[in-house]
Amino acid sequence: MNRQRSGRLGVGVVGAGRVGPVLAAALAGAGHAVVGVSALSERSRDRADAMLPGVPILDVQEVIRRSELVLLTVPDAELPGLVEGLAATGVWQPGQIVAHTSAKYGTAVLAPAAAAGVIPLALHPAMVFTGTSVDLSALTTAWFGVTAAAPVQPIGQALVVEMGAEPVLIAEADRATYAEAIETVSAFSRSIVEQSVSLLRGIGVESPGFFLSALARSSLDHALAHAQPDSIDLGSLPEPDPHL
């Protein structure tokens, strides 16, 4: 592994779903070099080609061998087994930075890699990804939950800032609560929208999703504003309509 230049990292992506290629593209925009991405399905290969043109598609072990920073952007259920399996092959390299993007886990899930001398980070982007370049703009208003040992927290924070987002430190012991908060917002939003769309469709409203879009966004903005009393002048906001 050789640095491209001082402070710049060779970035490898394991998992070309909606998240990994976007984060890699954001890091590339900050001057890092994306050295490889793993992608199994045709859809993931197309996504990798679109977001990371010219970056070679490699097997997982080769991605890790080439990388100074490894982004593990795989589903939660696959993460523990992936880390353990790779540790068994001896592919992890001392001094390598390994970051996963799961809300559910802190750095403990990376213990098999840490035992080989890597620097473990948990960097969860609290946003919904489309897997397209649109997400690069959305990152500029997003926050990441960062979990890391105190000596390396600045590394995680710096990577998040380089991607255009804002870092928030989450203690290892608080990761389960953090994940619950993320899932609650995501599941509740989906459920409420789906229920409302179904009701409107049932009475013949055309394009109920478009009909509700402005209301849903403004209602969420209003709720979030009231959740931040220290930074928002509540006197300037209207009271919520009790009929909504």
Alpha-carbon distance of 54 to 31, in angstroms, equals 16
- pTM of the model as a whole: 0.81
pLDDT in tens, 138-174: 999 999 999 999 999 999 999 999 999 999 999 999 9
**Which residue in 89, 87, 83, 84 sits closest to 122, CA to CA?**
83
pLDDT in tens, 203-231: 898 988 888 777 777 777 777 677 765 54
pLDDT in tens, 28-43: 999 999 999 999 999 9
The answer to whether 93 and 1 are in contact (CB under 8 A) is yes
Q: In a 10 Å sphere around its CB, with 0-12 CB exposed, 13-18 middle and 19+ buried, how is residue 164 labelled?
A: middle
Task: Give the max Cα distance, the chain.
Answer: 63
Reply yes or no on whether the pLDDT at 191 is more than 90. Answer: no
Q: What are the residue ranges spanned by the domains of the chain?
A: 10-170, 177-236
pLDDT at position 214, please? Answer: 79
Alpha-carbon distance of 142 to 164, in angstroms, equals 8
pLDDT in tens, 91-101: 999 999 999 99
The position carrying tokens 């920073």 is 69
Give the CATH class of 10-170.
Answer: alpha beta
Average pLDDT for residues 172-188, to the nearest whole number?
89
